[in-house]
Amino acid sequence: MGTPLISRSEGHRERLRNRGDSQYSPGARSNHERRRCEGDRNSARRGQVTRRNRDLHGSAPDSCRLALLLVDVINDLEFPEADAFLETALPAARAIARLAARCRRLGVPVVYANDNFGRWRSDLRAVVQHSLRTDVKGRPIARLLRPRRTDYLVLKPKHSAFFASPLETLLRHLEVERVILAGFAGNICVLFTANDLYMRDYELFVPRDCCASNDTADNDFALMQMARVLKADVRASTELDLERLRGPLRRRRSRT
Distances (CA, A) of 235 to 35, 177, 211, 226: 64, 19, 12, 12
Element (H, E) at 157: none
In this structure, which amino acid lies at residue 75? Answer: N
Cα 175–Cα 176–Cα 178 angle in degrees, nearest 5: 155
Do residues 206 and 179 lie in contact, with contact meaning Cβ atoms separated by under 8 Å? Answer: no
Superfamily of domain 66-245: Isochorismatase-like (3.40.50.850)
* DSSP annotation of 120: T
- Kindly report, residue by residue over 75-94, the tens digit of the pLDDT: 889 888 888 899 999 999 99
In this structure, which amino acid lies at residue 99? Answer: L
Read off the pLDDT of each residue in 38-53 and give the average, rounded to a whole number: 52
Beta carbons within 10 angstroms of residue 121's beta carbon:
7
pTM passes above 0.85: no
Report the pLDDT value the prediction gives residue 210, as an integer from 0 to 100: 98
Name the residue with higher pLDDT: 100 or 253: 100
Angle between helices 216-228 and 189-199 (to 10 degrees): 0
Q: Is the preceding peptide bond at 217 cis, omega within 30 degrees of 0? A: no
